[in-house]
């Protein structure tokens, strides 16, 4: 399946593809386009839009897109739920959970921006290891379901 979001990924738009590939759609293909083109590209390509205003898998009721994907696809892994709280805190100004790891994730995301990477696929390739490591950490912190 194809998935589409805004270009110039950061926190939620890096975390969401990681989550989708690991827990929803291992064959997912991601498209990154200017914000005003997301819905048009979604219709044209038959892609699922995420992390853009007005779509199901976006920010709703103070929650981030990562949380919307966890809820929609009924991902019941406790480590993913903890990771969702961390992603939320790093991405959303109104932090609902106050996870101490969230500012660190936000700092890492900002650091990647400072590396001058402009290709969204390259950013995903380099940052996915961060989410792999955070997920491993979360698995140690919370008991399995």
How much is the pLDDT for 145? 63
Which residues constitute the domain of residue 8? 2-141
Do 16 and 50 contact (CB within 8 A), yes or no?
A: yes
Joined together, the tokens standing for residue 38 give: 């997301």
If one counts the domains in the chain, the total is 1
φ and ψ at residue 32, rounded to 5 degrees: -125, 120
Q: Quick one: the chain helix, strand, coil %, rounded to 5?
A: 55, 10, 35
According to DSSP, residue 31 is labeled: E
Judge residue 19's burial from the number of C-beta atoms within 10 Å of its C-beta, 0-12 exposed, 13-18 middle, 19 or more buried.
buried
pLDDT in tens, the chain (145 residues): 999 999 999 999 999 999 999 999 999 999 999 999 999 999 999 999 999 999 999 999 999 999 999 999 999 999 999 999 999 999 999 899 999 999 999 999 999 989 988 899 999 999 999 999 999 999 999 976 6
Phi-psi region of 74 (alpha: psi -120 to 50; beta: other; left: phi over 0): left
How much is the pLDDT for 14? 97
- Pick the closest to residue 70 from 29, 32, 22 (CA basis): 22
End-to-end CA distance of the chain: 28
């Amino acid at each position: 399946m194809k998935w589409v979001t805004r270009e110039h990924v950061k926190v939620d738009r890096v975390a969401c593809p990681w989550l989708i590939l690991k827990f929803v759609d291992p064959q997912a293909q991601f498209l990154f386009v200017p914000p005003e083109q997301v819905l048009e590209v979604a219709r044209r390509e038959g892609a699922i839009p995420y992390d853009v205003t007005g779509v199901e898998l976006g920010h709703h009721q103070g929650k981030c897109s990562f949380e919307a994907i966890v809820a929609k696809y009924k991902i019941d892994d406790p480590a993913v739920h903890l990771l969702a709280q961390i992603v939320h805190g790093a991405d959303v100004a109104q932090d609902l959970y106050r996870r101490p790891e969230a500012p660190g994730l936000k700092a890492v995301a900002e650091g990647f921006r400072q590396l001058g990477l402009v290709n969204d696929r390259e950013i995903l390739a380099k940052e996915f290891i961060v989410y792999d490591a955070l997920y491993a950490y979360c698995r140690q912190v919370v008991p399995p379901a």
